[in-house]
Amino acid sequence: MGEASDSWAEVRPPAVAGTFYPADPARLRREMAELLAAAADIPLAGPPIALVVPHAGTMFSGAVAATGFRQLTAGQVRRVFLIGPSHRLVFAGAALWAGAGFRTPLGEVPVDREAVAAMLAAGSEVIAVKNLAHDDEHALEVELPFLQQWLGGFTLVPLLMGRQDATTATRLAQVLAQVVRPQNGDLVIASSDLSHYHPYAEAVALDHLALARVAELDPEGFLAGLAERRFEACGGGPIAVALLAARWLGGRTAAILDYQNSGDVTGDREQVVGYAACAVS
């Protein structure tokens, strides 16, 4: 299982408040409310089973992320399985954070202990408790203020992927398909940006190749494109996991909700980072 069971008393403090998003609660709540109010309501085939949202600072990717979160309905989502890439540590498999909760300036999000136990029981060969892997990691944390503002109360299952190979992604998706129950208010979210530091036109072309595989609900093609370096995504593994799990859970339609890159936000088109919001229903 990994780390000692007394980790359940631990609350993870915010690591990137004040850098990736505002640390002041009033300012953060106002920013979240403004971003979500400006986002479009997009007709979907049904309630989302999975989302893909970006994880840059809210000043860069916040509008795109808000479009993804805007498609959720408060009261329908009770438990969030949030998967991101590890930016700091390399390790095999996926790292769960097992503790009381994640805290942001908007309050504490409780970790779903029952779901953590179920994930470990179903996939102990690929999933372990590694609280250390989550220290200072932004990929999951930056999504929480949006969820807190839009949904209110929910519980969290926080997962980081170390190596993002196809074997790990497939096995992790199998475990999620065993544990996740969309009909009971469960939602899978993949946290990922797309291409990094290419000129604007090149980045748009690369990102649209990636998003074409998402739109076709083709996780195998998405994984192959990553392996062959035809396109990029820093959280490519989590995206593939979300697509696979959602398809096995009955998802039939994938929608690209929004796409921008940092050049659209800052005007600097020399080296940009791509952002997309997608939903599987």
Q: Where are the domains of the chain?
A: 19-196+203-261
pLDDT tens column, 44-53: 999 999 999 9
pLDDT reported for residue 6? 53
Q: What is the pTM of this model?
A: 0.96
Report whether CATH 3.40.830.10 matches the domain 19-196+203-261: yes
pLDDT tens column, 147-157: 999 999 999 99
Q: How far apart are CA 96 and CA 7, in angstroms?
A: 12
Q: How far apart are CA 135 and CA 197, in angstroms?
A: 26
Q: How far apart are CA 192 and CA 146, in angstroms?
A: 15
Collapsing DSSP states into helix, strand and coil, what is residue 84?
strand
What are residue 94's DSSP bridge partners?
A: 127, 161
pLDDT tens column, 221-240: 999 999 999 999 999 999 99
pLDDT tens column, 239-278: 999 999 999 999 999 999 999 999 999 999 999 999 999 9
Q: How far apart are CA 121 and CA 129, in angstroms?
A: 12
**Which residue type, as a one-letter code, is found at position 187?**
L
CA dihedral over 97, 281, 275, 26, signed as positive or negative: negative
**Average pLDDT score over the chain:** 96
Report, as an integer, the average pLDDT of 193-220.
98
Q: How far apart are CA 1 and CA 225, in angstroms?
A: 33
pLDDT reported for residue 8? 77
Q: Which DSSP symbol is given to 40?
A: P
Q: How many CB atoms lie under 10 A from the CB of residue 178?
A: 16
Residue labelled with tokens 């300036």 = 105
